[in-house]
A and B are shown apart, each in its own frame.
Chain A
Amino acid sequence: MRIYALGVYLFLYIPIGVIAVFSFNAGRYAAQLQGFSTQWYGKALSNPFVMEALQTSATVAAASAVLATIAGTLAALALQGVSGRPRMIFDALLYIAVMVPGIVIGISTLIALVTLFDWINPVVASLWPVADAAPQFHLGTGSLIAAHGLFAMALVVIIVRARVAGMDRSLIEASADLGATPFGTFRQVTLPQIFPAILAGFLLSFTFSFDDFIIAFFVAGSETTLPIYVFSSIRRGVTPEINAIGTMVLAVSLLILIVAQTILQRGRRAQPA
């Protein structure tokens, strides 16, 4: 049994380990190790295409995480007041949003956005004073933010709601009893209580968007995110530069996940037993 478990873990982590090891390879072929070097990191970071893709990814991740966190937190709080059948429907929709494969979200978002743009662009153009100067909606950073934000929102709702549900209701009553207005209670009691979950939700949303390839592939239009760049480079063969990028993305993602987990854990400990 232990050997079996070991086999599973090796199968899972050996490819990742190989990428990390080979990113420090001095030679230029992926197949043979030729001593230690960090040159590929330097190369990756000085590659203008990589840097541009990184910037797009970071922008999209930050913007979608902010949107998802705000909308998701508000939704989680509002859902506290919903019960019975409507609550069941909302819950089901939330979990479906998280469980639906990325490719389905990608394709459906693409179809929805393209249909929407086809409909809205002529309307805007006909209303614009100078027809040629009318803004055109098209796929790009905006659609990436929208698609990632929507998906991540479901994550945030689930994380924040767990915390809201675990919160002692009597704290809110105690605050009201002591003369705090409903907004005062929200600001002074509810928000500090659920803040760890909000922060964790934000970090997870950021990582999700930053790492996502499938949804981005469909809705990115002419934009290139880091995962899309990596995918298109691989078609020209795996270079140590790609290994270096992969390792960096992995390190950043792991770091953020660990931070998010720590925040959630600590938040849980601070709650009264």
Chain B
Amino acid sequence: MTGDTESSIAELRGATKRFGDVVAARNLNLSIRRGEFLSFLGPSGCGKTTALRMLAGFEAPTDGDIYLDGQRVNDVPAHQRPVNMVFQHYALFPHLTVAENISYGLRQRRPKPPAAEVAAAVARALETVRLPDFGPRRIWEMSGGQQQRVALARAIINEPKLLLLDEPMAALDKKLRHDMQIELQTLQRQLGITFVLVTHDQEEALSMSDRICIMRDGEIVQTGSPRDLYDRPKNRYVADFVGKSNFFAGRVESLEGETAKLTGPGGLSFIGYAGDGVGAGQPGLASLRPEQISLTRGTDGVPVSVVNRIFLGEHTEYLVRNPDLGQFLILASRQAEAGEGNLEPGETGSVRWRDGAALILKND
């Protein structure tokens, strides 16, 4: 049996990894598309790194199979896989120069490529990561951001079928991380290499990926585009992990096709897309994104009092309180607030949301 080599470059088929009694990854099924930017997203210990390490060849699956470009590679050791990795702490060789680090992969090939060819490839790779002339430097002379570029150059010079990135931004400060995210995305499009990123940072995953694979407790919860996951989360876990959300418990009144209606606290009704396992008459959960709620000074809505307000520049985040709903968040854009004037903590106003703005999820 071979994979669908037309569109998928790598596949996990029922891949399971046990370490003793601990199941680090359970029955992972995922097809990675050629040329896409895919992220594994989840908290630490969710199995995302294990999934990556199985693709790299550092861990062999206990059960199931790993396919690379249509070939089953369960028993192919890491050094024979056409896959390269950018390690969390870069794992640059401290006893080699920048150029020697970058050329390491090429120098392992048999027959050995000519020295001039290697030098030219290193120069191109350094150019690609915008570190020209840094070749003779020692690793410890480079800053964290520069070291990361070296690690990237060292991986892409081999033109791998998959480039694996293990939380590559974790060690960078926030500003640098943002720059690097943009750069990585640009690089991925320019090179056409399939990127697989592991991260626990939802913003990073949302901003960079074509698709995100959300994991929990060693299992894949949902795979989809960032927009899919944001607008159509399968369950509370995904809704909570991808973006911020307010949750209100209630009872599902009706379910028609994909749309459900839930009656929440104080008899308030929430209408929207129904997630997995939602059934009429069952207890359910309404998820309402902070930006879907509008706050006004008027009285024609659900009355709230402002508890706290955080100015975020383009947006203002309000923490408000209603006797039935409890405390919840509202994100108001500057435009929406224009003319209304800011509500100060302690003031009262009213909130409303459109029909269809909510998501109705199973309460689990």
B83 at the interface (CB under 8 A from A): yes
Contact A178 B87 (CB under 8 A): no
A118 at the interface (CB under 8 A from B): no
Give B90-107 as 1s and 0s: 1 = Cβ < 8 Å from A's Cβ atoms: 011111000000001100
A192 to B104 CA separation, bound complex (whole angstroms)? 14
7 A-B pairs with least C-beta separation:
A174-B91, A170-B91, A178-B105, A179-B108, A176-B78, A176-B79, A192-B95
Contact B95 A193 (CB under 8 A): yes
Complex interface: chain B residues within 8 A of A171 (CB):
91, 93
Contact A180 B94 (CB under 8 A): no
How many chain-A residues does the 8 Å CB contact rule pick out? 22
Please give me the residue from chain B that is nearest to A169 by CB atom.
B91
Contact A177 B84 (CB under 8 A): yes
Contact B58 A173 (CB under 8 A): yes
Complex interface: chain A residues within 8 A of B68 (CB):
none
Q: Which residues of A contact B (CB under 8 A)?
A: 168, 170-171, 173-182, 184-185, 188-189, 192-193, 270-272
Complex interface: chain B residues within 8 A of A189 (CB):
93
Contact A180 B79 (CB under 8 A): yes
- Shortest C-beta distance, B125 to chain A (Å), equals 13
Complex interface: chain B residues within 8 A of A176 (CB):
57-58, 77-79
B140 at the interface (CB under 8 A from A): yes
B297 at the interface (CB under 8 A from A): no
Selected from B80, B93, B95, B158, the residue in CB contact (under 8 A) with A174 is: B93
How many chain-B residues does the 8 Å CB contact rule pick out? 26
- Shortest C-beta distance, A176 to chain B (Å), equals 4
A184 to B140 CA separation, bound complex (whole angstroms)? 24
Complex interface: chain B residues within 8 A of A175 (CB):
93, 104
B85 at the interface (CB under 8 A from A): yes
- In the complex, 22 of the A-B residue pairs with CB atoms within 8 angstroms, ordered by the A residue number, are A168-B89, A168-B91, A170-B88, A170-B89, A170-B91, A173-B56, A173-B58, A173-B87, A173-B91, A174-B85, A176-B77, A177-B56, A177-B58, A178-B79, A178-B108, A179-B79, A179-B80, A179-B158, A182-B79, A270-B94, A272-B139, A272-B140
B48 at the interface (CB under 8 A from A): no
- Shortest C-beta distance, B319 to chain A (Å), equals 41
A181 to B95 CA separation, bound complex (whole angstroms)? 19
Are A270 and B140 CB-contacts (below 8 A) given A178-B158, A180-B108?
yes
Interface centre among B77, B85, B91 (most CB of A within 10 A): B91
B234 at the interface (CB under 8 A from A): no
Complex interface: chain B residues within 8 A of A177 (CB):
56-58, 78-79, 83-85
A168 to B80 CA separation, bound complex (whole angstroms)? 22
B154 at the interface (CB under 8 A from A): yes
Complex interface: chain A residues within 8 A of B80 (CB):
179
A177 to B105 CA separation, bound complex (whole angstroms)? 8
A182 to B57 CA separation, bound complex (whole angstroms)? 14
Interface centre among B77, B105, B139, B158 (most CB of A within 10 A): B105
Complex interface: chain B residues within 8 A of A168 (CB):
89, 91
B175 at the interface (CB under 8 A from A): no
Complex interface: chain A residues within 8 A of B84 (CB):
177-178
Interface centre among A168, A178, A184 (most CB of B within 10 A): A178
A178 to B157 CA separation, bound complex (whole angstroms)? 10
Please give me the residue from chain B that is nearest to A177 by CB atom.
B85
Complex interface: chain B residues within 8 A of A188 (CB):
104
Complex interface: chain A residues within 8 A of B104 (CB):
175, 178, 180, 188
Are A272 and B105 CB-contacts (below 8 A) given A176-B77, A177-B56, A179-B79?
no
